[in-house]
Amino acid sequence: MAGLRVVLVACLVSLCGSAWGATIPAGGRVGIIDMVTNDVIHFHIGKNEATSFMRTYRGNWVAADIIDDPLIASLSGAGFQPVSVPVSDTLRKERQSWIVEKPRSERLPRGCMKELARIMNEQNLAGLIVVAAGANSEPEYVDGDRYSRLPGTLQGLGFSTSDLPIGTTRAGVFDFTQIIVIAKDGDGAELVMRDWGGNRVYEWPNYDPGANPKQLPPELVAELRPVIADALKKRIDTRLMPRLKP
């Protein structure tokens, strides 16, 4: 059964990372739409529902610092022309059903693709990268069932603890975000790749909840920044750029 799970995970990664044949031409203008916030979610898995809890904190960073900056540097180094693009009202309004709910899907809804094509035509872009939250869908396929006890509606960046032995001091960091790459196809759009961060598990070294694990001090939450930044940088370097380089 474990072997089957490994095969399934490998297949899902393949579907979400390299199943499409479209490319963005060298030197092309690539827009970046960043819809990730600096909210940090702490979900504690209790022995029962009564002892479980969730808290949301505001990180002392701007999401662009850990997403846009490394993206721009990597794209520029590969010969593209990265540009920041504001989120359209339509994309913001429909983000939950269009993008967030099914991060493992190998397709985007027709209305979403039409809106992304409109943005690329308006901004004179050869490609578009959308970074957004992605719900904790199908956690049973993640290696070791690490996320199976977390709510399926959980999305964004955060960490989990538990009532298990050393579970209160050992925090597992989750990256429930997705990176979507779109290439211009005539006046339309074509999906190049879609990568969901929830396929990977990270640890928070030296996590110490202090006296009250339900109310963490801002300085502790701030220590999560380099962990998240490193996780996102690795995704850009190992998952995104090898697929985009001309």
What is the C-alpha to C-alpha distance for residues 100 and 17, in angstroms, rounded to an integer? 17
| pLDDT top residue among 147 and 179 | 179
Contact 169, 52 (CB under 8 A): no
Say how many domains are in the chain.
1
Torsion of CA 22, 23, 28, 30, to 10 degrees: 70
User: To 10 degrees, what angle do helices 68-77 and 225-235 make?
Assistant: 30
pLDDT band for 10, please (50, 70, 90 cuts): very low
Locate 117 and state its tokens: 């094509």
Give the model's pLDDT for residue 4: 31
Q: Please state, in angstroms and rounded to a whole number, the distance separating the CA atoms of residues 59 and 160.
A: 16
Q: Which of 110-114, 123-127, 203-207, 218-222 has the lowest mean pLDDT?
A: 203-207
Neighbours of 108 (CB within 10 A): 20
pLDDT band at 129 (very low <50, low <70, confident <90, very high): very high
Domain span including residue 225: 2-244
- List the one residue out of 135, 133, 150 whose CA is nearest residue 102: 135
> In this model, does residue 138 exceed pLDDT 90?
no
| pLDDT for 145 | 59
CA proximity to 36, closest of 13, 70, 7: 70
E strand spans, 13-108: 29-34, 39-45, 53-58, 81-84
Structure tokens at 229: 């930044």
